[in-house]
Amino acid sequence: MQLFGLRTCDTCRKALKSLPEAAFVDVRADGVPAEVLAQAHAQFGDALVNTRSTTWRNLGDAERAKPALSLLAEHPTLMKRPLINKDGTLYLGWGKDVQVALAS
């Protein structure tokens, strides 16, 4: 199981604490593999981009108009977190639904 997120993200820390077997991948330092990012975008669409983040607010209109995959490749911190890959199945965020799905 892989957990893609940021070391400084409180939600990612909570998820990592609950999933001690998960390998943590810091998206700022290591990025997200292109195939994982493509699969996540196919599954979650534009919901993969965190439009409430500081990074998003600091982008200009021209940057915001770029396709989601291009934006995420350039600014990996724009991804909603955490993105969890468990045996090829992806989960986005750390809501109750994800917690229940990963507990089983």
CA angle 94/49/22 to nearest 5° reads 35
Considering 3, 5, 6, 9, which one is annotated as catalytic?
9
Token representation of residue 3 = 């957990």
Give residue for tokens 């350039």.
Answer: 74
12 part of the active site: no
Token representation of residue 15 = 């998820």
DSSP letter assigned to residue 8: T
Q: Which residues are catalytic?
A: 9
